[in-house]
Structure 1
Protein backbone atom coordinates (compact mmCIF):
# COMPACT_ATOMS: atom_id res chain seq x y z
CA UNK A 1 0.00 0.00 0.00
CA UNK A 2 1.16 3.54 -0.74
CA UNK A 3 0.52 7.02 0.62
CA UNK A 4 -2.61 8.49 -0.97
CA UNK A 5 -4.99 5.55 -0.53
CA UNK A 6 -7.43 7.58 1.56
CA UNK A 7 -7.08 10.67 -0.63
CA UNK A 8 -7.96 8.67 -3.75
CA UNK A 9 -11.02 7.08 -2.15
CA UNK A 10 -12.10 9.79 0.28
CA UNK A 11 -15.34 10.84 -1.47
CA UNK A 12 -16.32 7.24 -2.18
CA UNK A 13 -15.69 6.19 1.41
CA UNK A 14 -17.53 9.19 2.86
CA UNK A 15 -20.62 8.48 0.75
CA UNK A 16 -20.60 4.81 1.75
CA UNK A 17 -20.18 5.84 5.39
CA UNK A 18 -23.56 7.61 5.30
CA UNK A 19 -25.25 4.21 5.14
CA UNK A 20 -23.15 2.97 8.03
CA UNK A 21 -23.96 6.07 10.11
CA UNK A 22 -27.67 5.43 9.60
CA UNK A 23 -27.19 1.83 10.69
CA UNK A 24 -25.34 2.98 13.81
CA UNK A 25 -28.21 5.27 14.76
CA UNK A 26 -31.00 2.81 13.94
CA UNK A 27 -29.53 -0.43 15.24
CA UNK A 28 -28.71 -2.00 18.58
CA UNK A 29 -25.66 0.27 19.02
CA UNK A 30 -27.89 3.37 18.84
CA UNK A 31 -27.56 3.97 22.60
CA UNK A 32 -23.79 4.38 22.16
CA UNK A 33 -24.32 7.03 19.48
CA UNK A 34 -27.24 8.89 21.08
CA UNK A 35 -26.11 8.87 24.69
CA UNK A 36 -25.89 5.73 26.76
CA UNK A 37 -26.14 7.13 30.26
CA UNK A 38 -26.21 10.10 32.60
CA UNK A 39 -23.59 12.28 34.24
CA UNK A 40 -23.72 14.15 37.56
CA UNK A 41 -24.67 17.80 37.02
CA UNK A 42 -25.59 19.57 40.29
CA UNK A 43 -27.17 19.41 43.76
CA UNK A 44 -30.35 21.02 45.10
CA UNK A 45 -32.39 20.74 48.28
CA UNK A 46 -34.88 17.92 48.50
CA UNK A 47 -38.48 18.70 47.46
CA UNK A 48 -41.63 16.67 47.99
CA UNK A 49 -41.96 14.06 45.28
CA UNK A 50 -38.22 13.67 44.60
CA UNK A 51 -36.89 10.14 44.22
CA UNK A 52 -35.25 9.17 47.51
CA UNK A 53 -32.69 7.16 45.54
CA UNK A 54 -31.19 10.46 44.33
CA UNK A 55 -30.55 11.75 47.88
CA UNK A 56 -26.89 12.45 48.66
CA UNK A 57 -26.74 10.67 52.02
CA UNK A 58 -23.11 11.58 52.70
CA UNK A 59 -23.80 15.30 52.28
CA UNK A 60 -26.94 15.02 54.41
CA UNK A 61 -24.90 13.45 57.22
CA UNK A 62 -22.36 16.28 57.09
CA UNK A 63 -24.73 19.24 56.67
CA UNK A 64 -27.92 18.12 58.35
CA UNK A 65 -29.87 19.12 55.25
CA UNK A 66 -31.31 16.87 52.54
CA UNK A 67 -29.96 17.33 49.02
CA UNK A 68 -30.66 15.38 45.83
CA UNK A 69 -28.28 14.79 42.96
CA UNK A 70 -29.26 16.10 39.54
CA UNK A 71 -28.02 14.40 36.37
CA UNK A 72 -27.88 15.29 32.73
CA UNK A 73 -28.03 12.87 29.84
CA UNK A 74 -24.71 11.97 28.26
CA UNK A 75 -25.05 12.64 24.54
CA UNK A 76 -21.58 12.39 23.03
CA UNK A 77 -20.26 9.27 21.37
CA UNK A 78 -16.60 8.62 21.97
CA UNK A 79 -15.14 6.37 19.30
CA UNK A 80 -11.66 4.93 19.72
CA UNK A 81 -10.02 2.84 16.99
CA UNK A 82 -7.26 0.32 17.69
CA UNK A 83 -5.68 -0.76 14.39
CA UNK A 84 -3.17 -3.57 13.79
CA UNK A 85 -0.50 -2.82 11.15
CA UNK A 86 1.82 -5.71 12.06
CA UNK A 87 3.63 -7.76 9.40
CA UNK A 88 1.00 -10.52 9.42
CA UNK A 89 -1.52 -7.98 8.10
CA UNK A 90 0.54 -7.48 4.93
CA UNK A 91 1.02 -10.34 2.45
CA UNK A 92 3.39 -8.68 0.04
CA UNK A 93 1.34 -6.14 -1.86
CA UNK A 94 -1.66 -8.18 -3.02
CA UNK A 95 -4.88 -6.24 -3.63
CA UNK A 96 -6.83 -8.04 -0.92
CA UNK A 97 -4.36 -7.89 1.95
CA UNK A 98 -5.83 -7.72 5.47
CA UNK A 99 -4.12 -4.39 6.10
CA UNK A 100 -5.99 -2.70 3.26
CA UNK A 101 -9.29 -4.18 4.44
CA UNK A 102 -8.57 -2.93 7.96
CA UNK A 103 -7.83 0.57 6.68
CA UNK A 104 -11.00 0.56 4.60
CA UNK A 105 -13.07 -0.47 7.62
CA UNK A 106 -11.33 2.14 9.79
CA UNK A 107 -12.13 4.85 7.24
CA UNK A 108 -15.79 3.87 6.99
CA UNK A 109 -16.26 3.77 10.77
CA UNK A 110 -14.38 7.07 11.18
CA UNK A 111 -16.41 8.90 8.52
CA UNK A 112 -19.65 7.45 9.91
CA UNK A 113 -18.76 8.70 13.40
CA UNK A 114 -17.84 12.07 11.90
CA UNK A 115 -21.31 12.29 10.33
CA UNK A 116 -22.64 11.84 13.89
CA UNK A 117 -20.39 14.62 15.24
CA UNK A 118 -18.48 12.23 17.49
CA UNK A 119 -15.24 12.47 19.43
CA UNK A 120 -12.64 10.19 17.88
CA UNK A 121 -9.26 8.79 18.82
CA UNK A 122 -6.76 6.29 17.43
CA UNK A 123 -4.10 3.82 18.53
CA UNK A 124 -1.92 2.06 15.93
CA UNK A 125 0.34 -0.86 16.74
CA UNK A 126 2.68 -3.41 15.19
CA UNK A 127 5.33 -5.01 17.41
CA UNK A 128 4.94 -1.96 19.64
CA UNK A 129 2.51 0.93 20.01
CA UNK A 130 3.32 3.00 16.94
CA UNK A 131 0.98 5.98 17.28
CA UNK A 132 -1.62 7.30 19.71
CA UNK A 133 -4.05 10.15 19.05
CA UNK A 134 -6.26 11.09 21.97
CA UNK A 135 -9.98 11.71 21.65
CA UNK A 136 -10.82 14.92 19.83
CA UNK A 137 -13.63 16.50 17.87
CA UNK A 138 -13.55 18.79 14.85
CA UNK A 139 -14.40 19.23 11.21
CA UNK A 140 -11.21 17.60 9.94
CA UNK A 141 -10.58 15.18 12.81
CA UNK A 142 -11.47 12.11 10.72
CA UNK A 143 -9.08 13.06 7.92
CA UNK A 144 -6.33 13.82 10.45
CA UNK A 145 -6.73 10.43 12.13
CA UNK A 146 -6.79 8.54 8.83
CA UNK A 147 -3.71 10.35 7.52
CA UNK A 148 -1.85 9.37 10.69
CA UNK A 149 -3.02 5.77 10.28
CA UNK A 150 -1.93 5.67 6.63
CA UNK A 151 1.53 7.06 7.39
CA UNK A 152 2.02 4.49 10.15
CA UNK A 153 0.86 1.65 7.87
CA UNK A 154 3.32 2.46 5.06
CA UNK A 155 6.24 3.22 7.37
CA UNK A 156 9.41 1.25 6.72
CA UNK A 157 10.08 1.13 10.48
CA UNK A 158 7.58 -1.63 11.26
CA UNK A 159 8.60 -3.53 14.39
CA UNK A 160 8.26 -7.32 14.30
CA UNK A 161 5.64 -8.96 16.45
CA UNK A 162 2.07 -8.03 17.40
CA UNK A 163 1.65 -5.84 20.47
CA UNK A 164 -2.10 -6.42 20.83
CA UNK A 165 -2.04 -6.86 24.61
CA UNK A 166 -0.03 -3.65 25.27
CA UNK A 167 -2.34 -1.79 22.87
CA UNK A 168 -5.47 -2.91 24.71
CA UNK A 169 -3.88 -2.10 28.07
CA UNK A 170 -2.83 1.36 26.88
CA UNK A 171 -6.33 2.10 25.57
CA UNK A 172 -7.90 1.07 28.89
CA UNK A 173 -5.59 3.50 30.74
CA UNK A 174 -6.06 6.32 28.23
CA UNK A 175 -9.88 6.27 28.03
CA UNK A 176 -11.32 7.75 31.22
CA UNK A 177 -14.93 8.04 29.99
CA UNK A 178 -16.97 5.24 28.45
CA UNK A 179 -16.34 4.85 24.73
CA UNK A 180 -17.02 2.55 21.82
CA UNK A 181 -13.67 0.86 21.13
CA UNK A 182 -13.26 -0.83 17.74
CA UNK A 183 -10.31 -3.22 17.37
CA UNK A 184 -9.24 -4.08 13.81
CA UNK A 185 -6.75 -6.95 13.64
CA UNK A 186 -6.18 -10.47 12.30
CA UNK A 187 -5.86 -11.53 15.97
CA UNK A 188 -3.01 -13.92 15.11
CA UNK A 189 -1.59 -13.61 18.59
CA UNK A 190 -2.14 -15.22 21.97
CA UNK A 191 -2.57 -14.07 25.56
CA UNK A 192 -4.65 -10.93 25.01
CA UNK A 193 -7.72 -12.14 26.95
CA UNK A 194 -6.95 -10.38 30.23
CA UNK A 195 -6.42 -6.98 28.63
CA UNK A 196 -9.48 -7.37 26.39
CA UNK A 197 -11.60 -8.27 29.42
CA UNK A 198 -10.42 -5.20 31.36
CA UNK A 199 -11.15 -2.95 28.37
CA UNK A 200 -14.58 -4.49 27.72
CA UNK A 201 -15.66 -4.08 31.35
CA UNK A 202 -15.29 -0.31 31.11
CA UNK A 203 -16.12 0.27 27.46
CA UNK A 204 -18.12 -1.21 24.58
CA UNK A 205 -15.50 -3.23 22.70
CA UNK A 206 -16.05 -4.44 19.13
CA UNK A 207 -13.39 -6.95 18.02
CA UNK A 208 -13.24 -7.13 14.22
CA UNK A 209 -11.10 -9.95 12.84
CA UNK A 210 -9.76 -9.42 9.30
CA UNK A 211 -9.19 -12.61 7.32
CA UNK A 212 -6.63 -13.21 4.57
CA UNK A 213 -7.03 -15.18 1.31
CA UNK A 214 -4.50 -17.75 2.55
CA UNK A 215 -6.12 -18.37 5.94
CA UNK A 216 -8.32 -21.24 4.72
CA UNK A 217 -6.48 -22.62 1.71
CA UNK A 218 -3.32 -22.27 -0.35
CA UNK A 219 -2.79 -22.69 -4.11
CA UNK A 220 -2.07 -26.33 -4.99
CA UNK A 221 1.49 -25.83 -6.24
CA UNK A 222 3.44 -28.68 -4.70
CA UNK A 223 5.79 -28.39 -1.73
CA UNK A 224 6.48 -24.71 -1.06
CA UNK A 225 8.58 -22.85 1.48
CA UNK A 226 6.70 -20.30 3.61
CA UNK A 227 8.19 -17.72 5.99
CA UNK A 228 6.35 -16.19 8.93
CA UNK A 229 6.71 -12.40 8.39
CA UNK A 230 6.90 -11.68 12.12
CA UNK A 231 9.04 -14.52 13.49
CA UNK A 232 10.92 -15.40 10.26
CA UNK A 233 10.27 -19.10 10.97
CA UNK A 234 10.31 -21.13 7.73
CA UNK A 235 8.26 -24.23 6.90
CA UNK A 236 7.79 -26.52 3.92
CA UNK A 237 4.09 -27.14 3.22
CA UNK A 238 2.65 -29.80 0.86
CA UNK A 239 0.06 -27.55 -0.81
CA UNK A 240 -1.03 -30.17 -3.37
CA UNK A 241 -1.89 -32.75 -0.73
CA UNK A 242 -5.66 -32.86 -0.28
CA UNK A 243 -5.51 -34.01 3.34
CA UNK A 244 -3.31 -31.03 4.17
CA UNK A 245 -5.76 -28.60 2.58
CA UNK A 246 -8.73 -30.14 4.39
CA UNK A 247 -6.93 -30.07 7.73
CA UNK A 248 -5.99 -26.42 7.15
CA UNK A 249 -9.63 -25.51 6.50
CA UNK A 250 -10.75 -27.40 9.61
CA UNK A 251 -8.20 -25.64 11.80
CA UNK A 252 -9.14 -22.25 10.33
CA UNK A 253 -12.81 -22.82 11.21
CA UNK A 254 -11.91 -23.96 14.73
CA UNK A 255 -9.67 -20.94 15.21
CA UNK A 256 -12.50 -18.58 14.28
CA UNK A 257 -14.97 -20.32 16.58
CA UNK A 258 -12.53 -20.32 19.50
CA UNK A 259 -11.74 -16.65 18.96
CA UNK A 260 -15.44 -15.75 18.95
CA UNK A 261 -15.99 -17.62 22.21
CA UNK A 262 -12.99 -15.86 23.75
CA UNK A 263 -14.32 -12.43 22.76
CA UNK A 264 -17.78 -13.19 24.15
CA UNK A 265 -16.28 -14.52 27.39
CA UNK A 266 -14.28 -11.29 27.72
CA UNK A 267 -17.39 -9.17 27.09
CA UNK A 268 -16.50 -7.98 23.57
CA UNK A 269 -18.61 -8.08 20.41
CA UNK A 270 -16.89 -10.34 17.81
CA UNK A 271 -17.17 -9.88 14.04
CA UNK A 272 -15.31 -11.66 11.23
CA UNK A 273 -14.61 -9.41 8.24
CA UNK A 274 -13.53 -11.51 5.23
CA UNK A 275 -10.84 -10.11 2.95
CA UNK A 276 -13.23 -10.34 -0.03
CA UNK A 277 -16.42 -9.30 1.78
CA UNK A 278 -18.53 -6.20 1.25
CA UNK A 279 -17.28 -4.03 4.10
CA UNK A 280 -20.23 -1.65 4.14
CA UNK A 281 -22.78 -4.46 4.16
CA UNK A 282 -21.04 -6.46 6.90
CA UNK A 283 -20.36 -3.49 9.18
CA UNK A 284 -23.88 -2.15 8.72
CA UNK A 285 -25.36 -5.53 9.63
CA UNK A 286 -23.07 -5.71 12.65
CA UNK A 287 -24.05 -2.30 14.01
CA UNK A 288 -27.72 -3.02 13.34
CA UNK A 289 -27.66 -6.30 15.28
CA UNK A 290 -24.68 -6.07 17.63
CA UNK A 291 -25.58 -9.38 19.23
CA UNK A 292 -23.19 -11.62 21.11
CA UNK A 293 -22.48 -14.91 19.43
CA UNK A 294 -23.50 -13.89 15.92
CA UNK A 295 -22.33 -16.64 13.50
CA UNK A 296 -19.16 -15.71 11.66
CA UNK A 297 -19.83 -13.90 8.39
CA UNK A 298 -16.96 -15.78 6.90
CA UNK A 299 -17.87 -16.80 3.36
CA UNK A 300 -19.18 -13.91 1.30
CA UNK A 301 -19.22 -14.02 -2.50
CA UNK A 302 -16.30 -12.26 -4.17
CA UNK A 303 -17.36 -8.64 -4.54
CA UNK A 304 -16.02 -5.13 -4.47
CA UNK A 305 -15.86 -3.78 -0.96
CA UNK A 306 -17.48 -0.45 -1.82
CA UNK A 307 -20.35 -0.61 -4.32
Structure 2
Protein backbone atom coordinates (compact mmCIF):
# COMPACT_ATOMS: atom_id res chain seq x y z
CA UNK A 1 0.00 0.00 0.00
CA UNK A 2 1.46 3.34 -1.07
CA UNK A 3 1.26 5.93 1.74
CA UNK A 4 -1.31 8.68 1.29
CA UNK A 5 1.44 11.30 1.64
CA UNK A 6 3.19 9.90 -1.46
CA UNK A 7 -0.06 9.95 -3.42
CA UNK A 8 -0.61 13.59 -2.45
CA UNK A 9 2.92 14.46 -3.63
CA UNK A 10 2.29 12.68 -6.93
CA UNK A 11 -0.92 14.63 -7.44
CA UNK A 12 0.72 17.96 -6.58
CA UNK A 13 3.64 17.34 -8.93
CA UNK A 14 1.27 16.22 -11.69
CA UNK A 15 -0.78 19.41 -11.41
CA UNK A 16 2.33 21.61 -11.44
CA UNK A 17 4.22 19.96 -14.27
CA UNK A 18 1.23 19.23 -16.52
CA UNK A 19 0.38 22.93 -16.30
CA UNK A 20 3.90 23.84 -17.44
CA UNK A 21 3.72 21.31 -20.27
CA UNK A 22 0.38 22.65 -21.51
CA UNK A 23 1.37 26.29 -21.25
CA UNK A 24 4.99 26.60 -22.35
CA UNK A 25 7.13 23.49 -22.57
CA UNK A 26 5.55 20.92 -24.85
CA UNK A 27 6.36 22.82 -28.04
CA UNK A 28 10.04 22.99 -27.13
CA UNK A 29 10.20 19.25 -26.54
CA UNK A 30 8.28 18.53 -29.75
CA UNK A 31 10.46 20.72 -31.97
CA UNK A 32 13.71 19.14 -30.79
CA UNK A 33 12.87 15.45 -30.51
CA UNK A 34 9.85 14.61 -32.65
CA UNK A 35 10.71 13.25 -36.04
CA UNK A 36 14.40 12.79 -35.30
CA UNK A 37 14.15 9.09 -36.19
CA UNK A 38 13.85 8.29 -39.90
CA UNK A 39 12.48 5.02 -41.24
CA UNK A 40 12.61 3.67 -44.79
CA UNK A 41 9.11 3.63 -46.33
CA UNK A 42 9.27 2.70 -50.04
CA UNK A 43 11.02 3.07 -53.40
CA UNK A 44 9.48 5.00 -56.30
CA UNK A 45 10.59 6.28 -59.70
CA UNK A 46 12.74 9.40 -59.75
CA UNK A 47 10.88 12.69 -60.38
CA UNK A 48 12.41 15.97 -61.46
CA UNK A 49 13.59 17.83 -58.35
CA UNK A 50 14.23 14.77 -56.19
CA UNK A 51 17.45 14.77 -54.18
CA UNK A 52 19.93 12.64 -56.14
CA UNK A 53 21.42 11.48 -52.83
CA UNK A 54 18.27 9.39 -52.27
CA UNK A 55 18.68 7.38 -55.48
CA UNK A 56 18.57 3.62 -54.84
CA UNK A 57 21.28 2.44 -57.20
CA UNK A 58 20.48 -1.26 -56.77
CA UNK A 59 16.86 -0.82 -57.88
CA UNK A 60 17.93 1.61 -60.60
CA UNK A 61 20.39 -0.92 -62.03
CA UNK A 62 17.84 -3.74 -61.85
CA UNK A 63 15.00 -1.84 -63.55
CA UNK A 64 16.96 0.44 -65.84
CA UNK A 65 14.93 3.40 -64.54
CA UNK A 66 16.12 5.79 -61.79
CA UNK A 67 14.40 5.12 -58.46
CA UNK A 68 14.67 6.98 -55.15
CA UNK A 69 14.21 5.87 -51.55
CA UNK A 70 11.37 7.47 -49.62
CA UNK A 71 11.72 7.93 -45.86
CA UNK A 72 9.20 8.93 -43.23
CA UNK A 73 9.63 10.38 -39.78
CA UNK A 74 9.48 7.98 -36.88
CA UNK A 75 6.49 9.30 -34.99
CA UNK A 76 7.06 7.41 -31.77
CA UNK A 77 10.07 7.91 -29.55
CA UNK A 78 11.22 6.20 -26.38
CA UNK A 79 12.26 8.51 -23.54
CA UNK A 80 14.32 6.97 -20.75
CA UNK A 81 14.85 8.68 -17.40
CA UNK A 82 18.01 7.61 -15.55
CA UNK A 83 17.69 8.96 -12.02
CA UNK A 84 20.50 8.99 -9.45
CA UNK A 85 19.16 8.20 -5.96
CA UNK A 86 22.49 8.06 -4.13
CA UNK A 87 22.76 9.79 -0.75
CA UNK A 88 24.05 13.05 -2.23
CA UNK A 89 20.53 13.69 -3.56
CA UNK A 90 19.46 14.46 0.03
CA UNK A 91 21.50 17.68 -0.02
CA UNK A 92 19.89 21.09 -0.37
CA UNK A 93 20.23 24.53 1.18
CA UNK A 94 17.02 26.25 0.11
CA UNK A 95 13.41 25.24 -0.37
CA UNK A 96 14.03 21.73 -1.72
CA UNK A 97 16.58 18.94 -1.96
CA UNK A 98 18.39 17.88 -5.11
CA UNK A 99 16.30 14.71 -5.19
CA UNK A 100 13.06 16.71 -5.08
CA UNK A 101 14.20 18.77 -8.05
CA UNK A 102 15.07 15.59 -9.95
CA UNK A 103 11.53 14.26 -9.50
CA UNK A 104 9.91 17.50 -10.71
CA UNK A 105 12.14 17.74 -13.78
CA UNK A 106 11.50 14.09 -14.66
CA UNK A 107 7.77 14.71 -14.29
CA UNK A 108 7.94 17.64 -16.70
CA UNK A 109 9.83 15.56 -19.27
CA UNK A 110 7.55 12.54 -18.84
CA UNK A 111 4.32 14.51 -19.34
CA UNK A 112 5.87 16.26 -22.35
CA UNK A 113 6.69 12.84 -23.80
CA UNK A 114 3.22 11.34 -23.41
CA UNK A 115 1.63 14.51 -24.77
CA UNK A 116 3.55 13.70 -27.95
CA UNK A 117 2.51 10.02 -27.80
CA UNK A 118 5.99 8.83 -26.81
CA UNK A 119 6.90 6.04 -24.44
CA UNK A 120 8.54 6.74 -21.07
CA UNK A 121 10.76 4.38 -19.08
CA UNK A 122 12.71 4.69 -15.84
CA UNK A 123 16.00 3.40 -14.43
CA UNK A 124 16.69 4.25 -10.78
CA UNK A 125 20.33 3.77 -9.80
CA UNK A 126 22.87 4.39 -7.07
CA UNK A 127 26.00 2.23 -6.98
CA UNK A 128 23.78 -0.39 -8.63
CA UNK A 129 20.65 -0.48 -10.77
CA UNK A 130 17.82 -0.47 -8.22
CA UNK A 131 14.68 -0.26 -10.33
CA UNK A 132 13.70 -0.61 -13.98
CA UNK A 133 10.30 0.43 -15.31
CA UNK A 134 9.90 -0.59 -18.99
CA UNK A 135 8.89 2.23 -21.35
CA UNK A 136 5.17 2.59 -22.01
CA UNK A 137 2.66 5.25 -22.98
CA UNK A 138 -0.09 7.04 -21.13
CA UNK A 139 -0.88 9.13 -18.07
CA UNK A 140 -1.36 6.14 -15.76
CA UNK A 141 2.10 4.89 -16.65
CA UNK A 142 3.70 8.29 -16.00
CA UNK A 143 1.98 8.43 -12.60
CA UNK A 144 3.50 5.03 -11.86
CA UNK A 145 6.93 6.39 -12.80
CA UNK A 146 6.44 9.30 -10.39
CA UNK A 147 5.30 7.01 -7.60
CA UNK A 148 8.36 4.81 -8.08
CA UNK A 149 10.68 7.81 -7.81
CA UNK A 150 8.96 9.18 -4.71
CA UNK A 151 8.38 5.86 -2.92
CA UNK A 152 11.69 4.19 -3.67
CA UNK A 153 14.03 3.61 -0.72
CA UNK A 154 17.63 3.51 -2.03
CA UNK A 155 19.72 0.47 -1.18
CA UNK A 156 23.04 2.08 -2.14
CA UNK A 157 24.59 5.32 -0.95
CA UNK A 158 27.30 5.93 -3.55
CA UNK A 159 27.07 6.38 -7.33
CA UNK A 160 28.09 4.17 -10.24
CA UNK A 161 26.72 5.82 -13.37
CA UNK A 162 28.77 3.49 -15.56
CA UNK A 163 26.83 0.47 -14.31
CA UNK A 164 23.51 2.21 -15.03
CA UNK A 165 24.61 3.14 -18.56
CA UNK A 166 25.80 -0.40 -19.25
CA UNK A 167 22.43 -1.71 -18.10
CA UNK A 168 20.69 0.81 -20.37
CA UNK A 169 22.73 -0.39 -23.35
CA UNK A 170 21.76 -4.01 -22.65
CA UNK A 171 18.07 -3.53 -21.94
CA UNK A 172 17.07 -0.76 -24.42
CA UNK A 173 18.13 -1.90 -27.86
CA UNK A 174 16.17 0.61 -29.90
CA UNK A 175 17.41 4.20 -30.06
CA UNK A 176 16.01 6.34 -27.24
CA UNK A 177 16.24 9.86 -25.87
CA UNK A 178 17.93 9.43 -22.48
CA UNK A 179 17.87 12.05 -19.73
CA UNK A 180 20.42 11.29 -17.01
CA UNK A 181 19.58 13.19 -13.81
CA UNK A 182 22.52 13.23 -11.40
CA UNK A 183 25.28 15.33 -9.88
CA UNK A 184 27.68 13.01 -11.78
CA UNK A 185 29.96 12.55 -8.77
CA UNK A 186 30.52 8.92 -9.62
CA UNK A 187 32.94 6.14 -10.25
CA UNK A 188 34.49 6.49 -13.75
CA UNK A 189 31.76 6.38 -16.39
CA UNK A 190 33.27 7.85 -19.57
CA UNK A 191 33.64 4.53 -21.41
CA UNK A 192 30.05 3.46 -20.69
CA UNK A 193 28.81 6.94 -21.65
CA UNK A 194 30.58 6.74 -24.99
CA UNK A 195 29.14 3.30 -25.75
CA UNK A 196 25.58 4.30 -24.79
CA UNK A 197 25.91 7.59 -26.68
CA UNK A 198 26.61 5.82 -29.94
CA UNK A 199 23.14 4.29 -29.86
CA UNK A 200 21.09 6.73 -27.80
CA UNK A 201 20.58 10.50 -27.69
CA UNK A 202 21.84 11.33 -24.19
CA UNK A 203 21.24 14.57 -22.29
CA UNK A 204 22.94 15.14 -18.92
CA UNK A 205 20.83 17.06 -16.40
CA UNK A 206 23.42 18.01 -13.78
CA UNK A 207 21.80 18.82 -10.43
CA UNK A 208 24.15 20.72 -8.15
CA UNK A 209 23.53 23.01 -5.19
CA UNK A 210 25.79 26.06 -5.09
CA UNK A 211 26.84 25.24 -1.51
CA UNK A 212 28.58 22.14 -2.85
CA UNK A 213 31.24 24.42 -4.30
CA UNK A 214 30.75 27.69 -2.41
CA UNK A 215 30.90 28.08 1.39
CA UNK A 216 29.72 31.10 3.40
CA UNK A 217 31.98 32.58 6.05
CA UNK A 218 30.25 31.32 9.22
CA UNK A 219 33.14 30.01 11.33
CA UNK A 220 33.66 26.39 12.36
CA UNK A 221 31.40 23.92 10.57
CA UNK A 222 31.25 20.14 10.52
CA UNK A 223 30.91 18.84 6.95
CA UNK A 224 29.78 15.31 6.14
CA UNK A 225 30.10 13.45 2.86
CA UNK A 226 26.56 12.11 2.31
CA UNK A 227 27.76 9.09 0.34
CA UNK A 228 30.76 7.97 2.41
CA UNK A 229 29.75 9.30 5.84
CA UNK A 230 33.18 10.92 6.30
CA UNK A 231 33.10 13.97 8.57
CA UNK A 232 35.44 16.93 8.81
CA UNK A 233 35.43 20.12 10.90
CA UNK A 234 36.52 23.14 8.86
CA UNK A 235 36.96 26.86 9.48
CA UNK A 236 34.82 28.59 6.85
CA UNK A 237 36.06 32.01 8.00
CA UNK A 238 39.45 31.10 6.49
CA UNK A 239 39.55 32.76 3.07
CA UNK A 240 42.19 30.40 1.71
CA UNK A 241 40.11 27.37 2.67
CA UNK A 242 37.00 28.77 0.99
CA UNK A 243 39.01 29.51 -2.15
CA UNK A 244 40.47 25.99 -2.18
CA UNK A 245 37.00 24.50 -1.66
CA UNK A 246 35.61 26.50 -4.58
CA UNK A 247 38.57 25.59 -6.77
CA UNK A 248 38.10 21.90 -6.06
CA UNK A 249 34.44 22.12 -7.00
CA UNK A 250 35.25 23.95 -10.22
CA UNK A 251 37.90 21.37 -11.16
CA UNK A 252 35.38 18.56 -10.67
CA UNK A 253 32.85 20.38 -12.81
CA UNK A 254 35.41 21.08 -15.53
CA UNK A 255 36.40 17.40 -15.56
CA UNK A 256 32.79 16.37 -16.06
CA UNK A 257 32.43 18.92 -18.86
CA UNK A 258 35.43 17.42 -20.67
CA UNK A 259 33.86 13.97 -20.38
CA UNK A 260 30.57 15.24 -21.82
CA UNK A 261 32.32 16.98 -24.72
CA UNK A 262 34.35 13.90 -25.62
CA UNK A 263 31.16 11.83 -25.66
CA UNK A 264 29.21 14.59 -27.48
CA UNK A 265 26.63 14.72 -24.71
CA UNK A 266 24.65 17.90 -24.04
CA UNK A 267 24.56 19.09 -20.43
CA UNK A 268 22.02 21.27 -18.61
CA UNK A 269 22.89 22.66 -15.17
CA UNK A 270 20.06 22.75 -12.64
CA UNK A 271 20.04 23.94 -9.02
CA UNK A 272 17.48 23.33 -6.24
CA UNK A 273 17.67 27.03 -5.34
CA UNK A 274 16.74 28.31 -8.80
CA UNK A 275 13.80 27.86 -11.22
CA UNK A 276 14.47 24.92 -13.53
CA UNK A 277 12.21 25.84 -16.45
CA UNK A 278 14.40 28.60 -17.88
CA UNK A 279 17.64 26.57 -18.27
CA UNK A 280 15.66 23.68 -19.76
CA UNK A 281 13.93 25.89 -22.31
CA UNK A 282 17.21 27.63 -23.15
CA UNK A 283 18.77 24.24 -23.82
CA UNK A 284 15.89 23.15 -26.08
CA UNK A 285 15.97 26.44 -27.96
CA UNK A 286 19.73 26.22 -28.55
CA UNK A 287 19.50 22.60 -29.57
CA UNK A 288 16.62 23.35 -31.91
CA UNK A 289 18.81 25.88 -33.74
CA UNK A 290 21.45 23.19 -34.29
CA UNK A 291 19.07 20.78 -35.99
Per the normalisation by structure 2, the TM-score is: 0.84
Matched with 1:301 is: none
Question: 1-side partners of 2:79 and 2:163: how far apart?
Answer: 19
Give the secondary structure class of the aligned counterpart of 1:82.
strand
Residues 1:11 and 2:8 are matched in the alignment: no
Matched with 1:300 is: none
Aligned 1:57-72 pairs, distance under 5 A: 57=58, 71-72=71-72
1:248–1:290 CA distance, 2 compared to 1 (3 A):
farther
The number of aligned residues is 278
1:52–1:159 CA distance, 2 compared to 1 (3 A):
closer
1:139–1:106 CA distance, 2 compared to 1 (3 A):
closer
Residues 1:175 and 2:172 are matched in the alignment: yes
1:216 to partner: Cα distance: 2.2
Matched with 2:190 is: 193
1:76 to partner: Cα distance: 1.4
Matched with 1:270 is: 267
1:68 to partner: Cα distance: 7.6
Matched with 2:125 is: 125
Question: 2-side partners of 1:291 and 1:36: how far apart?
Answer: 11
1:99 to partner: Cα distance: 0.8
Structure 1 outlier segments of 4+, above 3 Å: 46-57, 64-72, 92-95
Matched with 1:88 is: 88
Give the unaligned 5+ runs of structure 1. 293-307
Give the unaligned 5+ runs of structure 2. none
Give the secondary structure class of the aligned counterpart of 1:117.
coil
1:178–1:259 CA distance, 2 compared to 1 (3 A):
same
CA contact (8 A) 1:224 1:238 kept: yes
Over the aligned positions, Cα root-mean-square deviation in angstroms equals: 2.8
Deviates more, 1:130-139 or 1:283-292: 283-292
CA contact (8 A) 1:201 1:267 kept: no
1:69–1:212 CA distance, 2 compared to 1 (3 A):
same
1:36–1:233 CA distance, 2 compared to 1 (3 A):
same
Give the secondary structure class of the aligned counterpart of 1:214.
helix
Give the secondary structure class of the aligned counterpart of 1:236.
strand
For residues 117-160 of structure 1, the C-alpha deviation after alignment (integer angstroms, 9 at most, x for no partner) is 211111111221111111211242221211111112xx2x5312
1:202 to partner: Cα distance: 1.2
